[in-house]
Structure 1
Amino acid sequence: MSYFKKLALIGMVSIATLSTEVAYAGEAPVIGDNSNGQVLVDNTHGQTAGAADWVIDGAFSDYANSIANQGYQVKELRDQSGITADSLIETSILVIPEANIPFKSTEQQAILDYVKNGGSVIFISDHYNADRNYNRIDSSEIMNGYRRGAYDDITKNMTEAEKNSEAMQGVTNSDWLSENFGVRFRYNALNNVKATDIVQGEEGLGLGEGVQSVSMHAGSTLAVTNPKIAKGIAYLPDNLTEADKWGHAVDQGVYNGGGKEEGAYIAVSKVGKGKAAFIGDSSMVEDITPKYKREDNGSTKKTYDGFKEEDNGKLLNNLTTWLGKKEDYTTFEALGITLDQETTLLDSEIPENSKETQAEPWSQPKDGYEWFNSETFAPGSYGGPENAGGDDDNPGNNQGTATLEYPESVVSGETFKVTTTLNGYDINSTINDLKLGMYTEGGQQIGKISLDGQQASNYGYSQPTAVKTDGEGNAQVTFTVEVKEGVSGNANIRLKQGSTNVVTKPVTVQP
């Protein structure tokens, strides 16, 4: 039952309020209402391994909120059964952030069937050699369907424990992505470049509207292998050199000197009744609010504000719009637009001919860490043990559930209240360094925020405050927000604890 319906049934308040619940690592978070459908974001394939934090209440929260602002309910898939036909029944768009655990053949089939029957999926990959959990298989390999240099045996050089793990059962090599979606992620690694060749108008399916440039920070491109169903949308400059490759690239890094010969940075496919989109770098999607610790060593993650760079957020919004639109044509050839040229491949890009250019994994994990066994994960990581509780002198970090309640829409220049309810934290303990902010999708702070009854003088996050939980681990604090005069449209409200994002929620600002 939605929060709106629940309030109406029990008659708690007279105005609609927004609420979200974020669990530490158990119950999956949900953001937004369901007026346009449901977007499911995969978190069952190592999306929080290493420095990654690709979850909707962490470093993909700006992206998730932009989807929610388009009328979708954004959910996170945490079911250990992985991607199944049942998990996709209510799904309008499936988002697969940079996977670091391979798909089983059954999952590949479920995704393909879902798209052929009218569903949409977006694959967000990264550069080759982004092996975040040291399992020898990168996201580009996982999404393509085969491991480079190990086409005959995907478990090559793995330990018996790895081979026998549940994560590797039902996993086989194939040229899955190319055969079914007409694209293949290339194994190049390009760094700190901007894609300014954006296909516009009908030829670009409207995806280039309002987009002049998108950024890449250590990413890859895509080869179009079947132009009838696949099309490039954004391309890098055609004068790339050795200086443009990622510093840790294990081979030539730049394959064809940039431009269309290098392959599309962003591409789309039309498969049956459904659609697919592909991005060669997670950097353009992430933001600076990681939620979890690293699973291998427990250190704090550092992510970057890629969503706000260039026109990244705008292009991602355009992709959501296009993916959510049902269209009858089944190929770009049938649509009557100009088809791409098939990308010229290196011999080493043919799956059977691919070679391992450097022994994997690229570095050795901390003793005791096993990528397939969450019992070995560090405290504070996703799937790992929760941090130990504490007291006033040594506060714990057992993150329970955070709920924000405030009006569905607020008015420019006026004030409103945000009630923050915390449940399931350590009992009789202090939760320090809580602060609330309100900002536009472009990152502009638009709220003067203070504790209820006090006064704030600057736009930005409130002064840090501490609350003490009761005997059941619950607490509540209310903030007063004065909205900046002259702003309107979509915005976000975010609760942080220190530098950690606790919960982010969309709100509409009326002029």
Structure 2
Amino acid sequence: MKKLILLSILFLTGCTQPAQFYDGQADVLFDAAHGQTAGEADWVIDGAFSSFNDVIRDMDYKTVSTDYDTTLTYEKLKQYKAVIIPEPNIPFKVEEQEAIQRFVGEGGSIMMIADHYNADRNLNRFDSSEIFNGYRRGAFDDITKGLSHDEKQSERMQNVKGSDFLSDTFGVRFRYNALNNVRIDADSAYDAFGLLDNVQSINMHAGSTIAITNPKIAKGIIYPGKLSQNDRWPHAVDQGIYTKGGKDEGAFVAISKYKKGKAVFIGDSSIVEDETPKYVREDNGNTKRTYDGIEEASHKVLLKNLVTWMMKPEAYTTLEGKVTSDQKTPLLRMEVPQQSKEPKQEPWGQPGHGYKWYDPTTFEQGSFGADSNKRVENKSVTKKSEPLEIQAPSSVYPGDYIKIDIYSQKQMKDVAIELIDSDGRQVGLFNGRPPGKSDTYNMSAKDNRFHCYFNGKIAREAVHSVTIKVYVKEQMIHIERIDINS
């Protein structure tokens, strides 16, 4: 077995924020205040949404971003022509929903970019489709169902309530489905307002579709073709594909005309992202990996067309008589908000040691929103640590059994490890328990050094890579990475 022998590594990076914040002087405001950089996401204008930002700026519009903890108010939103909300992972407060509703109703435009169901990047039980829709699947009457006391009491959850907000306001609802690696050819039969001009095709990579619930004000622009279970994202928690495709599956891109304003809805962030993430992961400090989806197919052309339509003020208040109307999307019984159920226990993974999605003082340095001084204090990370030798496989498969040996010149007590994959999930199985931190052990003398070892198993859900975190008396002293074989 190939071994890795490395010395402890300490990562010390500065606390950074987007270069351009809300200033009331721009045309387009990007929301970065609702977990847009959680997990592998980096959906900010100086990160992996920078190419999209360039598209808009090349259209002679000025763009700015909120900071990490901005509350969206009408007074802020009304100073912009359009607001773009990429894949949120922190829910909107009632007053923020009301601000969005009023902003659009009085002539503003909004773009909402979602992802597949259960994309929950910060493991708080909310994914972007649920946040936009206004309720959690299986928790319509109590949106805080399953949350811990500290989560419920956090500032982020104050005045967050469940409702059918998106459907009631804009006549659409993001579905729970998950379509993977699907090419969609543009069909002029679905076009409206020239939104499909020069658009040939679109690629979906683990995304959702949008149900039309009020055809008087909402319309699908891009619909998938024929589908089968082969088009289902492998990690979908339910059937993933709800119909045989076409309009019955829902639109990948939809528009809405709410009073004087406009709205655009997109079911997958991968058509917008690029491969230039700026920030490290907030939960474990790892470097992010994003993809150049905006350069695929006709994605840039489509996005430019959508922004062009959004930036044109038009006072009509219905789509009736303006476009060929859609029919209501047929829904499954489980999609009725009040009857929805959680098909699998949430969250889909457990956060790494010390990370709390609602508390930026627990975020790793170099992540968006992190407070570097408080992070060091809370985690008690020292700048000096004893050199360690870690012996572990250089790569493993999901489901593999694994042995990790730790050697030191100094005896250490209460040594424990965590195994965290690239999605921030606990993937180490120890002593027959669910994924989580190992038991603690004391080192014993061996070959003129001190030694302890851990036998465990890699969870089958592990993806991309695993970070081994070594703790002594609850203090993290070592970080090391091994690869996951696909």
Provide TM-score, normalisation by structure 2: 0.72
**Partners of 1:208 and 1:79 in 2: how far apart?**
34
Query: 2:182 matched to 1:189?
Result: no
Secondary structure of 1:356's aligned partner: coil
Residue 251 of structure 2 aligns with which residue? 264
Residue 255 of structure 1 aligns with which residue? 242
**1:54-79 Cα distance to aligned partner (Å, 9 max, x none):** 00000000000100011111100116
Residue 297 of structure 2 aligns with which residue? 310
Note the 1:168-207 alignment, pairs <5 A.
168-199=157-188, 203-207=191-195
Amino acid paired to 2:277: P
Q: 1:29 aligns with which of 5, 8, 20?
A: 20
> Which 5+ residue runs of structure 2 have no aligned equivalent?
1-13, 376-382, 384-486
Q: 2:156 aligns with which of 167, 171, 174?
A: 167
**1:336-379 Cα distance to aligned partner (Å, 9 max, x none):** x2100110000111000000000001011101110000000111
**Partners of 1:75 and 1:232 in 2: how far apart?**
29
Instruction: Verify the 8 A CA contact 2:19 2:46 in the aligned structure 1.
Output: no
Secondary structure of 1:302's aligned partner: coil
Q: Report the alpha carbon displacement of residue 33 of structure 1 after superposing the two structures with TM.
A: 13
Instruction: Verify the 8 A CA contact 2:81 2:108 in the aligned structure 1.
Output: yes
Q: 1:293 aligns with which of 262, 280, 284?
A: 280
> Which 5+ residue runs of structure 1 have no aligned equivalent?
1-22, 389-395, 397-511
Query: 2:355 matched to 1:369?
Result: yes
Secondary structure of 1:270's aligned partner: strand
Query: 2:236 matched to 1:245?
Result: no
**Partners of 2:95 and 2:133 in 1: how far apart?**
15
> For the structure 1 residues 31 and 155, does the alpha-carbon distance in structure 2 shift closer, same or farther, using more than 3 Å as the test?
closer
**Partners of 2:15 and 2:29 in 1: how far apart?**
18
Query: 2:220 matched to 1:232?
Result: yes
Q: Report the alpha carbon displacement of residue 384 of structure 1 after superposing the two structures with TM.
A: 1.5
Q: 1:208 aligns with which of 196, 201, 224?
A: 196
Q: Report the alpha carbon displacement of residue 318 of structure 1 after superposing the two structures with TM.
A: 0.3
Q: Report the alpha carbon displacement of residue 30 of structure 1 after superposing the two structures with TM.
A: 6.2
Q: Report the alpha carbon displacement of residue 236 of structure 1 after superposing the two structures with TM.
A: 1.0
Secondary structure of 2:183's aligned partner: strand
Q: Report the alpha carbon displacement of residue 204 of structure 1 after superposing the two structures with TM.
A: 1.6
Q: Report the alpha carbon displacement of residue 81 of structure 1 after superposing the two structures with TM.
A: 3.9
Amino acid paired to 1:156: K
Note the 1:382-401 alignment, pairs <5 A.
382-386=368-372
Residue 344 of structure 2 aligns with which residue? 358
Please provide the CA RMSD for this pair. 2.2
**1:475-506 Cα distance to aligned partner (Å, 9 max, x none):** xxxxxxxxxxxxxxxxxxxxxxxxxxxxxxxx
Q: Report the alpha carbon displacement of residue 32 of structure 1 after superposing the two structures with TM.
A: 13
Query: 2:120 matched to 1:131?
Result: yes
Note the 1:319-468 alignment, pairs <5 A.
319-335=306-322, 337-386=323-372
> For the structure 1 residues 82 and 31, does the alpha-carbon distance in structure 2 shift closer, same or farther, using more than 3 Å as the test?
closer
> For the structure 1 residues 79 and 87, does the alpha-carbon distance in structure 2 shift closer, same or farther, using more than 3 Å as the test?
farther
Instruction: Verify the 8 A CA contact 1:32 1:69 in the aligned structure 2.
Output: no
**1:160-197 Cα distance to aligned partner (Å, 9 max, x none):** 00000000000000000001100000000010011214
Q: Report the alpha carbon displacement of residue 90 of structure 1 after superposing the two structures with TM.
A: 1.5
Q: Report the alpha carbon displacement of residue 303 of structure 1 after superposing the two structures with TM.
A: 0.2
Q: 1:143 aligns with which of 132, 140, 143?
A: 132
Q: 1:279 aligns with which of 257, 263, 266?
A: 266
**Partners of 2:48 and 2:244 in 1: how far apart?**
32
**Partners of 2:259 and 2:15 in 1: how far apart?**
38
**1:388-413 Cα distance to aligned partner (Å, 9 max, x none):** 9xxxxxxx9xxxxxxxxxxxxxxxxx
**Partners of 1:134 and 1:113 in 2: how far apart?**
30
Instruction: Verify the 8 A CA contact 2:186 2:199 in the aligned structure 1.
Output: no
**Partners of 1:350 and 1:28 in 2: how far apart?**
42
**Number of aligned pairs?**
363
> For the structure 1 residues 81 and 302, does the alpha-carbon distance in structure 2 shift closer, same or farther, using more than 3 Å as the test?
closer
Query: 2:115 matched to 1:115?
Result: no
**1:36-69 Cα distance to aligned partner (Å, 9 max, x none):** x610000110000000000000000000010001
Secondary structure of 1:132's aligned partner: coil
